[in-house]
Amino acid sequence: METNRILIVDDDVDALRLVGIMLEREGFQILAAASGQQAIDKAIEEKPDLIILDVMMPGIDGYQVAMQLRKHPATQTIPILMFTAKTAVNDKVAGFQAGADDYLTKPIHRAELITRVQALLQRKQRAVPEPLPPGQGQIIGFLPTKGGLGTSSLTLNVALELQKAFPNKRIALVEWRSGNGTLASQLGMSVPGGIQSLAEMPTVTLAKSQVTDRMIRHTSGLHLLLSTMAPAGVGPRLTRDFSRTVMHYLTTDYDYILLDLPAALDEATAEALRMAGDIILTLEPNRIGILMAQTMLENLDRQNIGAYKAKIILINRIPGAASLNRMDIENTLQHPMICSIPPAPDLAYESVQSGRPMVIVQPNSLLAQQVRLVVKAVSTKGMNL
């Protein structure tokens, strides 16, 4: 049986040695790093099975180390156990937001340390098989807390503005759902469901060319992989392996892949979100919307997807409806909010009737301005692609 390798990161040599001895006695192979930068370099090079990461270090602290590890393809799925003398709830929340999977406070007790390490390693083994090597493309998942919010429309308008902002980038918009597709009708197009025809094929023999053949180029420059309007469940079910394969092909061909997702964490959606760099979580600005968002964030962590990747967008559907305070929402959900999409019923009606997305119908509207804030937020990491 292969020995699990654990990277311990602490600038306190005595603490590092103590934890190392505890774990070595349990049969683990130990790697060590005494600084944040050394930890990042060693994790990328060695790809340990688990990282035990101290928070308080000079230079790059543990929070920053965790965030950088979560952004790198080689380390983004490695379990991270943070340990620190800090015991405040806010400190623990900051650790989970940075990408930690679990949190342990000093002084460390041997039995608790071993139990938490074994639990994280077992969780990793149960999670998913090793993903196919990702390409350079940045996956951005648009995840609604419930259906009917207008998330598909938002995703489409963001994709169009992203293509407009980066005309030299290859951008794909994927309707990642087994039915109930609306993007074709929003664009005034009538096309068969490309996702469904791919899902009917055996995943083990699915070729990149077959995915490419079902991509439709829009006049804006966007490449589209669309779903059928038939109800979800009528066609073939999307699977985890299908998700991994298609995402692998797309990230090798496109700079940005925007996913229009259902309000569900089924196996295919969950796998796509694990590969995503950003998750745009949409919700209504009311008490129920906040509760649904909290539940969704908890499940992102429970399914090893990572709630730390989430950014919040409020969608106001009713003119004049009272909206919750932005600061209150961010404090409650412990996640940053990008913007609030204003209600625009007349613009939405004109868009539906004409088959032209709202940012094309009125490119200078308040809604279009908010959409551009989303573009700015999701494109920052891809500026140098």
List, in order of start, the domains of the chain with CATH numbers: 5-127 (3.40.50.2300), 138-382 (3.40.50.300)
Is residue 151 within 8 Å of 288, Cβ to Cβ?
no
Total length of the chain: 385
DSSP H stretches of helix in the chain: 13-24, 36-46, 62-71, 89-98, 110-127, 151-165, 183-186, 194-199, 208-213, 240-253, 267-275, 287-302, 326-333, 345-354, 358-361, 366-379
Pairing of strands 5-9, 29-33: parallel
Tell me what pLDDT residue 1 has. 47
Tell me what pLDDT residue 304 has. 82
Is residue 315 within 8 Å of 282, Cβ to Cβ?
yes
Model confidence at 57, in pLDDT bands (50, 70, 90)? confident
The 3-state DSSP class for residue 6 equals: strand
Tell me what pLDDT residue 122 has. 83
List C-alpha distances in Å: 361 to 186, 354, 355.
12, 9, 10
Q: What is the pLDDT of residues 220-259, one digit of tens each?
A: 999 999 998 888 777 788 998 999 899 999 999 999 999 9
Q: What is the pLDDT of residues 164-177, one digit of tens each?
A: 999 999 999 999 98
Q: What is the pLDDT of residues 65-96, one digit of tens each?
A: 998 898 887 888 899 998 877 666 677 777 78
Return left, alpha or beta for 143; rule: phi > 0 is left, psi -120 to 50 is alpha, else beta.
beta
Return left, alpha or beta for 175; rule: phi > 0 is left, psi -120 to 50 is alpha, else beta.
beta
